[in-house]
Structure 1
């Protein structure tokens, strides 16, 4: 489970920024707080705020870290300089030339219990500046260092001796020790890499990504009636008009990948069925179809789902239903987690999220974003009008509005 995500100097976030899944002392919905070793962990974090306040950049920071961790082993090649994608805070001269930081704390279950990992790195346009990997077992309060890489030193004393020389010989300035060590099959390194690989990130605010995902079928969907029926039951949570699917395999490419044509089956008034191309379904249905595999993967693996603009094209009650899937420990038995951004203030008011599960982003007059939790504000438990208070500006993170230009006042010269 993700315990904490920490980043700095990335896009609109200039300063240290922490998204913390550690539960506060609040007893609100205590039954769904997950106890891991000596940690009390939450399964949801909703990020609210105005347009251009930095909500999406929190998701993008996590995506950048994930992409770099899983791909840095190829970044030393001239044709794959992924490091160039890094965008620091650009609106002051000091930050635009400084390194950016990315760090996570997360738990991983083993046969002996839980292990807590702390992994992070700093990076600038020239390469990796600093990198570290620490861990502690359930029975230990102190972290042990697996490796540390600084500007002038590389300490590999925590890894098998026979691997140290291979890493020293192969390490490039753009390459992470973690990525290289996983390639060399060092078990704890592989555990960290696999944790990143199992998480799912999607951006429904991006039309291209949204369009592409909506036409990707779940794994095994073409061949398995069982999986197709699972998707039907899943969609029935909001639309029971779809009673089945008709799947046609059109062709195989040179890599054995198949192109399939999917049609949805609907009942007609005469008791028969009508087939419709999947593409003709509503935007909400296409979005839920795309989310199915992501939600299923995270539920099965106990991983993290990150969704930008979760409320886009979805009814608030359906968003609530998705959140309840993650928040209900009887359903979410593997402790999957969700991080989502939203403009929908109703999600603050429907008595579903704890105050430490509600987060806000705000951007000041200098263009600097800040992330903070509702738990930082004192609240009267008898007056939990979070949505109303939010819209009244008591928590910040609302747009500063000015009148739109009056089109009718425009005069021809």
Structure 2
């Protein structure tokens, strides 16, 4: 589980900001105790704030680091594609990232400092028996390894100024390294827009369709282990269908089959194309059950369907799911259901975590004070991130109505609406 994430000098973030998953209110079922850590961790965190305050960049920073670990060895030959703060002295300072996680009860800490030309510092530590021990530490091109990890010595041979040591070391299957790297790489990001403003999916490919596939329909041969695979397939389908029905969209089932599309030809004829996998959602109305093509479904229905795979994968493996602009993709009722899935230990027994950004203040009614974070833009254009539970140095009451207090400006982080300029442009005032 993620303990905390810190970033500095990335996009709109200049000075370090930290998002912590450590619970303030530990006496509730949502807070997951971690004995070796001496703290409880939260399965949900939400970031609220006005437009252009940098909410998405908190999600983008952690996503960037995950992608960097996956790709630096293959693609960082000429330049490190980091995006420092555009103003002040951002271009002349390194970007910094820190991730702390607990894996199998042991705390790990990963630190990176880099700019476009080189990785300046990088280290991975762990805390067996609560004592900090170095797994590897790198300053420039000099790499130091923990004693007894000689199987990682090959990392030095592949290390370059623009390659993360973690990208290399994870390939040697040393559990101390590979377990941490796998935990980071298993994170999934939904809704985050790329620079062309189109929503992009970042993370392992856990498509929803495969959760509904029936192996018995596609395998005609009796293969070793096929019976177990078919049993797992049926369990997957049951879980996915239950989550689809949870949305109460009037959908009863999902049909996935091979379909040969018809293409019109010249004259009155038509030809069939190559067979393709087709997804149809079966709607119920009175006594009728009618399958409709996926393309005919509403955007909300398609979005919920596409979420099922990533959500179930996260819940099953106990991994991290990042979701930018949750309210832009889902109806508030569905957003609430998603939060409940991660809150409830019954549906989230492995400690999966959901971190999302949103403008929908109604979701504050389903969040505890230590699950809410606020962004604001400072005068220099830099993003500031603060915990609601400790707003302005004053602890927010556990019983406080968070939505009402937020909308009344109690916590700041609201748009500063000044209509003077637009009214003057419209000629309505002098």
Please give the TM-score of this superposition, normalised by the length of structure 2: 0.83
Match of 2:23 in 1: 23
Instruction: Mark the CA change 1:283 to 1:152 in structure 2 (over 3 Å): closer, same or farther.
Output: closer
Q: Does 1:218 align with 2:209?
A: yes
Instruction: State the 1:235 CA deviation.
Output: 1.8
Q: Distance in 2 between matches of 1:55 and 1:169?
A: 39
Match of 1:34 in 2: 32
Q: Secondary structure at the match of 1:4?
A: strand
Instruction: State the 1:379 CA deviation.
Output: 5.5
Instruction: State the 1:314 CA deviation.
Output: 2.2
Q: Distance in 1 between matches of 2:311 and 2:58?
A: 20
Q: Does 1:12 align with 2:12?
A: yes
8 Å contact 1:204–1:312 — kept in the other structure? no
Q: Secondary structure at the match of 1:31?
A: coil
Please give the TM-score of this superposition, normalised by the length of structure 1: 0.86
Summarize deviations over 1:131-168 as a string: whole Å, max 9, x none. Answer: 0010012xx1211011111137422244523532x222
Match of 1:303 in 2: 319
8 Å contact 1:228–1:244 — kept in the other structure? no
Match of 1:134 in 2: 125
RMSD: 2.7
Q: Does 1:196 align with 2:184?
A: yes
Q: Secondary structure at the match of 2:283?
A: strand
8 Å contact 2:69–2:166 — kept in the other structure? yes
Alignment of 1:70-149 (within 5 A): 70-77=70-77, 83-84=80-81, 86-92=82-88, 94-109=89-104, 114-137=105-128, 140-149=129-138
Match of 1:178 in 2: 166
Q: Does 1:264 align with 2:278?
A: no
Q: Distance in 2 between matches of 1:319 and 1:310?
A: 7
Q: Distance in 1 between matches of 2:241 and 2:152?
A: 49
Q: Secondary structure at the match of 1:312?
A: helix
Instruction: State the 1:228 CA deviation.
Output: 4.2
Q: Distance in 2 between matches of 1:73 and 1:152?
A: 15
8 Å contact 1:300–1:334 — kept in the other structure? yes
Q: Which runs of 5+ in 2 are unaligned?
A: 216-232, 261-274
Match of 1:239 in 2: 248
Summarize deviations over 1:171-229 as a string: whole Å, max 9, x none. Answer: 1111111111111222211111110122111116677436999x954335333573444
Match of 2:417 in 1: 401
Q: Distance in 2 between matches of 1:133 and 1:285?
A: 42
Match of 1:56 in 2: 56
Q: Which runs of 5+ in 1 are unaligned?
A: 252-257
8 Å contact 1:249–1:261 — kept in the other structure? yes
8 Å contact 2:44–2:354 — kept in the other structure? yes
Instruction: Mark the CA change 1:11 to 1:204 in structure 2 (over 3 Å): closer, same or farther.
Output: closer
Instruction: State the 1:380 CA deviation.
Output: 6.6
8 Å contact 1:205–1:312 — kept in the other structure? no
Instruction: State the 1:73 CA deviation.
Output: 1.4
